[in-house]
Structure 1
Amino acid sequence: MCGIVGAIAGRDVVPVLVEGLKRLEYRGYDSSGIAVLEPGTVRRVRRTGRVVEMEAVAAQKGVHGQLGIGHTRWATHGGVTEANAHPHISAGVALVHNGIIENHEQQRERLLGLGYTFESQTDTEVIAHLIHHHLRHGSADLLAALQAAVKELTGAYALAVMSADEPERLVVARMGCPLLVGLGEGENFVASDVSAILQATRRVIFLEEGDTAELTRNGVRVFGPDNAPVQRAQHLSDVSLASLELGPYRHFMQKEIHEQPRALADTIDAVINAGSFDPSLFGADAEAILAGIEGVKILACGTSFYAGSTAKYWIESIAGLPCDVEIASEYRYREAFANPKHLVVTISQSGETLDTMEALKYAKSLGHRHTLSICNVQESAIPRASELVCYTRAGAEIGVASTKAFTTQLAALFQLTVVLGKLHGKVNAEQEADYLEQLRQLPGSVQHALNLEPQIVAWAERFAGKANALFLGRGLHYPIALEGALKLKEITYIHAEAYPAGELKHGPLALVDEAMPVVVIAPNDSLLEKVKSNMQEVRARGGELFVFADQDSNFAASEGVHVIRTPRHAGVLSPIVHTIPVQLLAYHAALARGTDVDKPRNLAKSVTVE
């Protein structure tokens, strides 16, 4: 979703801003812009489309400055137009904004009555005028005006603000949307994502809810929600620039699919090295907390929800605990029952997913006492708000369609399952050793699945001309069918649905004909014979089957039935292995259709608004 970068330095910051915006492109956007301070005035360049188009115009116009802000916008209030693009300006006050201001209409009416005119349809322009209004009526300086203005806003925001009248400072504010400060030597930075400023510094401060801050060339001051000075810890980011480079791959999604053996190995490394599933994986106090819980509630969105749906099967069958999985955006708006003895597990790649964060807050307000976050980004908001944490080790994920984040979430959830099983007397030493061995073999099994890519390319070319597709799975693999359908529609724009294979006769079979490809996840497990029966229902209606089966399953290709064999059955970890081919199918079908794989239309990587 929208991205922010800002800088104050003794050098031209335009290259820093442009490079930062390019690093933020993965979040999803439809316009971009920068504003820099020149003596006594603000110069601004905005364009719809890609950052490179805005960069070319800035270079043509000779835009330079030592203080500046930049933004990539994903349209919410108002269409995709240059007038709606950020930065927005009010009489020398320029700002960029992530988030949504819920009371913008009331503030707009008030500001119109005060004589302000509006050039855009956005909620952001309201903030610019409001800050300017406070500068004119009592606020001592830009920081004080920002602090006064945000107290009149309802909603979520990350803000970076500068003024032509105060060329020595950049001021920022955060509420509900991520924002961090980068610390340099004689220069300082602000960004919504650390990737935007890695070119300049690795030392960062993560602002907390309600914080404001002032950045000058020589220092940073942070203020808490009551505007009193506070100290926030410095962190050294371990994100590498190499992880943000495309390398030999055509797209980040392809790169990230192929990084999964390493990402999984890194995620399970602590368990493998320890030779056991130790509760300390989740925090120093995890053993006492996890031993006392009586059930699990998982809250997540999108792909992370499918990871949680898979974990439900594991937790109930292996750990012997009831598990409930809910879409975070639904849970937060219903009257839910809270059991304080249930563990609330939130799953988020970015750790900033707004619906998941708000669902976590709601769960706490209902009386849930024990919380655990599974996340890929250290020090992000959701882990900081959770009692226990498990960080996946996927590394930076740039492609909007999640791949390695999903499989590492599954690996983390499996580790949690076995820990719970041990603590609740459901997993003995022999079973633990067996699960450990399955986990040890997992990266190799995933690599074998990646080796199927040439066969999957041939399938993908057949999918390119289709308008619809159906994915089927049963038991543990039904959520993988859901994930496969999601991947296909996300990046190819082919309409795809997923069903438990046993539900075919209860409605979806009406859709099946010779034009409807049906993808089947068919591992060699206890449900294989049931799945074969469901496949016969498809063939009887003329449907064409594309089956991912295990190497050791007794399954043959025939007319209208195409089969690709994944490695031998991976036991309870089979869903992770079977995820790889459905990712590859979506990726290569998107290539064949010529869509923008890494930046699919209308979507964003980090969803920080409702």
Structure 2
Amino acid sequence: MCGIVAGIAERNVQDILLEGLRRLEYRGYDSAGLAVLDEQNQLHRRRRVGKVAELGQALAETPLIGKAGIAHTRWATHGSPTELNAHPHISSGRVAIVHNGIIENHAPLRAELKALGYNFESETDTEVAAHRIAYYLDRGDDLLQAVQHVVAELEGAYALAVIACDDPGRVVACRNGPPLVVGFGIGEHFVASDVQALLPVTQRFSFLENGEVVDLRRDEVAIYDREGDRVMREIRVSGLTAGAIDRGQYRHFMQKEIFEQPFAISETLEGRVIEDRPLSPGVLGVAAEALLPQIEAVQIVACGTSYHAGMIARYWMEEIANIPCQVEVASEYRYRRHVVLPNSLFLTLSQSGETADTLAAVQASRDEHYLARLAICNVPESSLVRESELVLLTHAGPEIGVASTKAFTTQLVALMQVVLLLAQSRGADAAVMRRLRGELLQLPGLVEKALALDPLITRVAERYVERGHALFLGRGAFYPVAMEGALKLKEISYIHAEAYPAGELKHGPLALVDADMPVIAVAPNNDMLEKLKSNLEEVRARGGELFVFAEPGVALENGPGMNVIEVPGGSGMLAPVLMTVPLQLLAYHTAVFKGTDVDQPRNLAKSVTVE
């Protein structure tokens, strides 16, 4: 949610900041703005409601010239999406600030500042911080000192970047929750919410920890901790390039990421899974070999799509590793008392590694009696990775589309690797382990075959354009697959979609079924098939129209009210991964036909860094 880019250089920073905002569009936003300090140390600002392209048009008509600047894409929290509420906010014509997150004690601070004579133009909590920094500058602080004073007063989760006429040779930024990365150049330095925003200007980065403040000058970067002491931080060279987030031949990032799944899955398996050799515990970290045999239960905590991945893994964990497993939404886990089973592993899932609720759940787990914390994540430098003793990276590459696709399937592949490691540690049958490793290695090729269904699914999607609702059905491990399919459809096409265990139809949802309510079912060829067929007949008997994604051998025929799309077989226990792919394609093409913003659906953000 929201995106920050800021920097100081020997050249005009306008275009650098604007390109950074373009690269942060995936995070979700409703307005954008940019401010610079000119050669006379005066502040100039442009803000626009809507897309970064509209801000770019305004800057093309009337450019801003300055060598220090800040920029922002805003996802509205306090105050509606208007130009007055858009960032940057300016206090007294002297201080400009951009802000991610929520300042929880903004109301008393606002009242105090109003009493001191500061005038507020917006409804935002951000303007409180701008005026408060101006207050400390009025008292004689330099910009760094003013920001440090304000950080000590603020409550909540926030990241700030600030420039000021009083101290024009620097940009000061801080982090307490939402991520901030520092980019190092030659005679120029930057901060941003994400590495990707700065790839056109540098590949050398450091990551701020919570409570830290960074002081950027053209010739120096200084990082300070909560106590004001300077800290030294390793500079890392990113393997990503500026071209890593281009759409290439694809119309949308989501489409590109769906078709990248065979490669992403292969990368997540590379060097870890060999058919005739057990997995090495070392893939989770040096402590894993000693910890794995001690684990007697698993608690999975995640949000959104990652939560669905965890739900599928629960079936695998209990069936293959014979370990009890619970799965809970992170935003709920934080706020209740838990009974932690002895020797439990706390397992979290997050594409970005910056999901606020998941990070808070990790913090809460430290006061409970967990054996260790394991993170499955796509970003090696993320907060979640740094907070966890054990880590398994998914190697999916950058995922720009808000609706997660390759992050989901690579999370499932990583989860299966964890299940196999736990099963191995408990003496599982060697032949079963070899078969499962073989299924993992075959998966990229099977996903490639599933992607070949794209033209057929495109034709199916045309029939959804005028529909306002849809039901998704699945049984067992395929119920979470149905949940994920429903989530994808609602996220990007704005069609109301819900998922149910197929056996629950007669307990309520069947009342919704008629000719205008399409029902999408996932039908693996397993021991629950006959039960599922009975559920499908319940739909047909009520005049509903079925679209069934079925494995070979299911023996369902196309006919009135029955549309069968055959999905490649042979994936065994990994069939939930394979079945997900056509549901992603269905959601994607439906959204394209409806003309929605596929990569940046309304009201949503890619990285949810506030509660």
TM above 0.5? yes
Residue aligning to 1:10: 10
Contact 1:34 1:68 in 2 (8 A): yes
Counterpart residue type for residue 2 of structure 1? C
Secondary structure in structure 2 of the residue aligned to 1:524: coil
| 8 Å contact from structure 1 (residues 523, 569) kept in 2 | no
Shifted more, 37-46 versus 395-404: the winner is 37-46
Mapped partners of 1:369, 1:197: distance in 2: 38
Match of 1:405 in 2: 407
Amino acid at match of 2:598: V
Q: Look up the match of 1:282.
A: 284
Task: Answer yes or no: is 1:361 the counterpart of 2:363.
Answer: yes
- Would you say the 8 A contact 2:3–2:24 is kept in 1? yes
Check whether the contact 1:551–1:569 (CA below 8 A) recurs between aligned residues.
Answer: no
Answering whether residue 14 of structure 2 is matched by residue 21 of structure 1, we say no
- Kindly state the Cα deviation for residue 337 of structure 1 after the two structures are TM-superposed: 2.1
Structure 1 residue 555 displacement after superposition: 2.3
Residue in 1 that maps onto 2:417: 415
Which AA in structure 2 matches 1:528? L
CA positional deviation for 1:281: 1.2
Unaligned runs of 5+ in 2: none
Output the CA distance in 2 between the equivalents of 1:114 and 1:501.
62
- Retained in 2: the 8 A contact 1:524–1:569? no
Q: What SS does the aligned partner of 1:374 have?
A: strand
> How far apart are the structure 1 equivalents of 2:414 and 2:322?
18
- Name the structure 2 match of 1:599: 600
Match of 2:228 in 1: 227
Deviation string for 1:327-356 (max 9, x for gaps)? Answer: 000010112223451000010000000000
- Show CA shifts across 1:447-487 (max 9, x none): 10000011111110001110100000000110000000000
CA displacement 1:415-434 (0-9 Å, x = unmatched): 00010001012x22211211
Aligned equivalents of 1:66, 1:177: Cα separation in 2: 26
Query: Can you list the C-alpha shifts for 1:396-421, whole angstroms capped at 9, x where unaligned?
Result: 00000000000000000000001000
**1:62 equivalent in structure 2:** 63
Which string of whole-angstrom CA distances, capped at 9 and with x for unpartnered residues, describes residues 289-334 of structure 1? 1211110000000000000000000001100000000000001011
Give the 3 Å change call, closer, same or farther, for CA 79–527 of structure 1 in structure 2.
same
Aligned equivalents of 2:115, 2:492: Cα separation in 1: 46
Match of 1:328 among 330, 336, 356: 330
CA deviation vs aligned residue, 1:188-234 (integer Å, no higher than 9, x gap): 01000001000000100100010001011111000011110001111
Aligned partner letter, 2:30: D
Asked if 1:110 corresponds to 2:112, the answer is yes
Which residue is equivalent to 1:443? 444
Give SS of 2:102's match: coil
Partner Cα separation in structure 2 for residue 519 and residue 219 of structure 1:
58
Tell me the distance in 1 between the aligned counterparts of 2:357 and 2:581.
27
Amino acid at match of 2:589: H
Partner of residue 584, structure 1: 585
Q: Is the 8 A contact 1:523 1:553 kept in 2?
A: yes
Whether the 8 Å CA contact 1:516–1:543 is kept in 2: the answer is yes
1:260-286 deviation line (CA, Å, top 9, x unaligned):
000000001122358432211111111
Contact 2:72/2:87 (CA < 8 Å) preserved in 1?
A: yes
Paired residue secondary structure (2:173): strand
Distance 2:476 2:53 in 1: 46
Measured in 2, the distance between the counterparts of 1:243 and 1:527 equals 43
Alpha-carbon distance between aligned partners in 2 of 1:527 and 1:238, rounded to the nearest angstrom: 45
Look up the match of 1:386: 388
CA distance in 2: counterparts of 1:103 and 1:541, whole angstroms: 54
1:374 to 376, 379, 400: 376
Whichever residue aligns with residue 159 of structure 1, its letter is L
Letter in 2 for 1:519: I
- Structure 2 equivalent of residue 189 of structure 1: 190
> Mapping of 1:105-144 within 5 angstroms?
105-139=107-141, 141-144=142-145
- Name the CA distance, whole Å, in 1 between partners of 2:176 and 2:228: 14
Kept in 2: contact 1:26–1:599 (CA 8 A): yes
1:142-165: CA deviation from partner (whole Å, max 9, x where unpaired): 000000001100001111111112
On the 8 A contact 2:268/2:394 being kept in 1, the answer is yes
Structure 2 equivalent of residue 35 of structure 1: 35
How big is each residue's C-alpha offset from its partner over 1:42-77, in whole Å with a ceiling of 9 and x where there is no partner? Answer: 000000011111111122222111111100000000
Does the 8 A contact of 2:451 with 2:581 survive in 1? yes
Per the normalisation by structure 1, the TM-score is: 0.99
The offset of 1:138, in angstroms, is: 4.6
How far apart in 1 are the matches of 2:347 and 2:41?
A: 51
Contact 1:246–1:252 (Cα < 8 Å) also in 2: yes
User: Aligned AA for 2:96?
Assistant: A
Task: Extract unaligned runs of 5+ from structure 1.
Answer: none
- Which runs of structure 2 are paired with 1:550-589 in the superposition (5 Å)? 550-589=551-590
| Alpha-carbon distance between aligned partners in 2 of 1:433 and 1:99, rounded to the nearest angstrom | 47
- Within-5 A mapping of 1:220-259: 220-259=221-260
SS at match of 2:57: helix
1:32–1:51 contact (8 Å) kept in structure 2: yes
Distance in 2 between residues matched to 1:157 and 1:295, nearest whole Å: 35
| Separation in 1, partners of 2:136, 2:66 | 26
Contact in 2 for aligned 1:184/1:200 (Cα 8 Å): yes
In structure 1, the partner of 2:101 is: 99
**Which amino acid in 2 is paired with 1:424?**
R
- 1:523 alignment counterpart: 524
The question of whether the paired residues in 1 share the 8 Å contact of 2:274 and 2:437 is answered with no
**Counterpart Cα distance in 1 of 2:524 and 2:65:** 59
Letter in 1 for 2:399: E
How far, CA to CA, are the matches of 2:293 and 2:13 in structure 1? 53
> How far does residue 186 in structure 1 lie from its aligned partner after superposition?
0.8
Q: Distance in 2 between matches of 1:133 and 1:282?
A: 49
Q: Deviations over 1:220-255 (max 9, x none)?
A: 000011110001111111223222001110100000
* Cα distance in structure 2, aligned partners of 1:432 and 1:278: 13
Equivalent AA in structure 1 for residue 104 of structure 2 = E
Contact between 1:481 and 1:521, CA under 8 Å: does it hold in 2? yes
8 Å CA contact retained: 1:471, 1:484: yes
Indicate conservation of the 8 Å contact 2:396/2:410, yes or no. yes
Q: What one-letter code is carried by the residue in structure 1 that aligns with 2:150?
A: A
Aligned-partner Cα distance in 2 for 1:366–1:313: 25
Q: Is the 8 A contact 1:47 1:85 kept in 2?
A: yes
Matched, 1:424 2:426: yes
Tell me whether 323-332 or 431-440 shows the greater mean CA deviation. Answer: 431-440
Alpha-carbon separation, structure 2, partners of 1:242 and 1:530: 49
Distance 1:368 1:136 in 2: 49
Quote how far apart the aligned CAs of 1:369 are: 3.9
Q: Output the CA distance in 1 between the equivalents of 2:527 and 2:395.
A: 32
Q: Distance in 2 between matches of 1:587 and 1:315?
A: 31
SS of residue matched to 2:521: strand
Q: How many residues align?
A: 608
**For the residues of structure 1 that align with 2:73 and 2:372, how far apart are their CA atoms?**
37
